[in-house]
């Protein structure tokens, strides 16, 4: 109902531009017409209500046309990475049993056979999407989300941002990620303009693309926000920016506020299991510090629990537990009871609440590890590394050293315009960090691959480290724990 009503509203805006990427643009009326045509194609191909359609990104902006068309005929969308290998594709087909596969190659719609050996699954009528997350070990989990969760989360986010129909949002993320769908829905429901670039932009290209688009708003990962702060001139400031996913360093926030004092910064904390956004720190909320992700959005709740599930008091550190009306319906193939959703979703993130209910994240539960019997914070190391200005991205991982035991290691990507000197780099870190926090292993890579919201794609990093034959820590390793969260 939400979808078809909103399509009528979009159609009234006529030939005004609605959605663009680096090479094409679709008007509001053109988008609505394309949705109607695509819905007819899906139905004539044999797709029935409550069956699912796997959707890849090979058709560019038509991905979003197909996305809305799928929902308009009451079907379930299963986004997938069309660049993945056959094993990944076969896994998703096998577990979801789709009626159709679209967007694996340009212009292709594949009808799955319907015989005794293959039967397309009919899902509950309330399910709108199955979004797959992959944890650090590469275990793929299908998150079941209802229309009420996805669309309700987007509408709640709109109110927070004061997202107006005159706004033009720029996003650079792969279309199959949860964050891309959330950004699209926000633009869709407010009838605003969206430029969304699927292929990854590096610093200079991202700044150039934002400027050339004419956008007045930006949504993306913390590392992308840093690139914009460094690359945009004072006269090219945006009306508002929102960031989610990875931790946003305090130094980046301070630089943004100093260089662009008129730009509103919304710091979100999101999870795929919560249909996207979950908490937000508002620009004018002075009750929360730089390290806070604020309070839950309307319809959601948060608490901190100990290992045994007991709820903790303010400023006591424990696991972040998410509750509320936008929570997922469970994981595909698992009973709802298996994820203990009756008492909230245990996120795997460590944090605490202050006396005013603001949430502070301390990283994943295994971001804190012990070196020589003393606790070490991976996030503290990462923030100090970025503050040196010598690297463009970094991740901290505990490694097993045959002599010293567990030691902090650093995987980093250097800046293109910096002559990196390892000795000067380590001296800078020793001036910023306690001795047990200084990385003992340094591994330089060209790039650290992240999801659309800035979370590291652990499996790809695992594969990269395997090329170096790195001896990672195996007991509760940062690399081996399954990671939930928004992609």
Find the helix packing angle between 378-387 and 422-430, rounded to 10°: 120
Higher pLDDT, 397 or 353: 353
State whether residue 216 is helix, strand or coil: coil
Q: Would you state the CATH architecture of domain 372-448?
A: 2-Layer Sandwich (3.30)
In this structure, which topology does domain 2-125 adopt according to CATH?
A: Rossmann fold (3.40.50)
CA 246 vs CA 249, 270, 320, 403, 453: distances in Å: 9, 10, 15, 32, 7
pLDDT at 478 > cutoff 50 = no
Q: Where are the domains of the chain?
A: 2-125, 149-364, 372-448
CA-to-CA distance for 239 and 245, rounded, in angstroms? 21
| Strand segments (E) across 162-208 | 168-172, 193-197
Q: Are 454 and 223 a contacting pair, CB within 8 Å?
A: yes
Record the tokens describing residue 407, joined without a space: 């030691």
Asked if the domains at 2-125 and 372-448 fall in one CATH topology, the answer is: no
CATH 3.40.50.12780, applies to 149-364: yes
The predicted model scores a pTM of 0.81
Which of 88-102, 133-147, 392-406 is predicted with the least confidence, judged by mean pLDDT? 133-147
Predicted local confidence at residue 486, as pLDDT: 45
Q: What is the pLDDT of residues 85-122, one digit of tens each?
A: 898 899 999 999 999 999 998 887 888 866 656 788 88
Q: What is the pLDDT of residues 306-345, one digit of tens each?
A: 988 899 999 998 999 999 999 999 999 876 555 556 789 9
Higher pLDDT, 122 or 145: 145
DSSP string, 323-344: EETT---EETTS-GGGGTGGG-
């Amino acid at each position: 109902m939400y979808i078809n009503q909103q399509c009528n509203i979009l159609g009234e805006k006529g030939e005004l531009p609605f959605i663009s990427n680096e090479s094409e643009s679709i008007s509001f009326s053109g988008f609505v017409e394309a949705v109607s045509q695509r819905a007819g194609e899906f139905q004539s191909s044999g797709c029935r209500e409550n069956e699912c359609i796997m959707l890849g990104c090979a058709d560019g902006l038509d991905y979003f046309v197909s996305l809305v068309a799928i929902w308009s005929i009451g079907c379930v969308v299963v986004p997938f990475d069309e660049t993945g290998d056959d094993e990944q594709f076969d896994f998703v087909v096998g577990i979801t049993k789709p009626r159709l596969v679209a967007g694996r190659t340009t212009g292709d719609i594949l009808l799955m056979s319907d015989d005794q050996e293959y039967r397309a699954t009919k899902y509950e009528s309330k399910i709108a999407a199955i979004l797959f997350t992959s944890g650090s070990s590469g275990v793929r989990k299908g998150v079941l989300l209802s229309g009420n969760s996805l669309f309700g989360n987007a509408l709640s986010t709109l109110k927070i941002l004061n997202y107006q129909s005159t706004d033009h949002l720029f996003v650079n993320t792969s279309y199959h990620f949860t964050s891309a769908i959330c950004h699209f829905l926000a633009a869709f429901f407010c009838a605003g303009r969206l430029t969304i670039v699927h292929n990854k932009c590096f610093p200079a290209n991202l700044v150039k693309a934002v400027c050339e688009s004419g956008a007045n708003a930006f949504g993306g990962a913390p590392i992308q926000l840093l690139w914009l702060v460094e690359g945009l001139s004072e006269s090219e400031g945006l009306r508002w920016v929102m960031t989610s996913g990875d931790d946003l360093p305090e130094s980046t926030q301070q630089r943004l506020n100093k260089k662009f004092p008129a730009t509103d910064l919304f710091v979100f904390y999101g999870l795929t299991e919560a249909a996207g956004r979950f908490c937000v720190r508002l620009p004018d909320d002075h009750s929360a510090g730089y390290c806070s992700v604020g309070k839950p959005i309307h319809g959601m709740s948060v608490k901190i629990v100990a290992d045994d599930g007991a709820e903790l008091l303010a400023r006591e550190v424990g696991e972040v537990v998410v509750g509320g009306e936008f929570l997922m319906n469970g994981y595909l193939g698992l009973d709802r009871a298996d994820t203990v959703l009756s008492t909230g979703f245990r996120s795997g993130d460590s944090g605490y609440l202050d006396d005013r209910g603001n949430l502070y994240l301390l990283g994943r539960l295994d971001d804190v590890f012990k070196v020589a019997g003393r606790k070490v914070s991976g996030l503290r190391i990462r923030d100090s590394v970025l503050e040196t200005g010598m690297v463009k991205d970094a991740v901290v991982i505990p490694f097993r050293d045959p002599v010293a035991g567990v030691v902090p290691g650093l995987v980093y990507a250097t800046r293109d315009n910096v002559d990196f000197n390892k000795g000067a780099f380590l001296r800078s870190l020793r001036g910023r960090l306690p001795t047990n926090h200084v990385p003992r292993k340094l591994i330089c890579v060209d790039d650290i691959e992240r999801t659309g919201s800035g979370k590291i794609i652990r499996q790809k990093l695992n594969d990269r480290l395997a090329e170096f034959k790195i001896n990672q820590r195996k007991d509760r390793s940062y690399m081996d724990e399954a990671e939930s969260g928004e992609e």
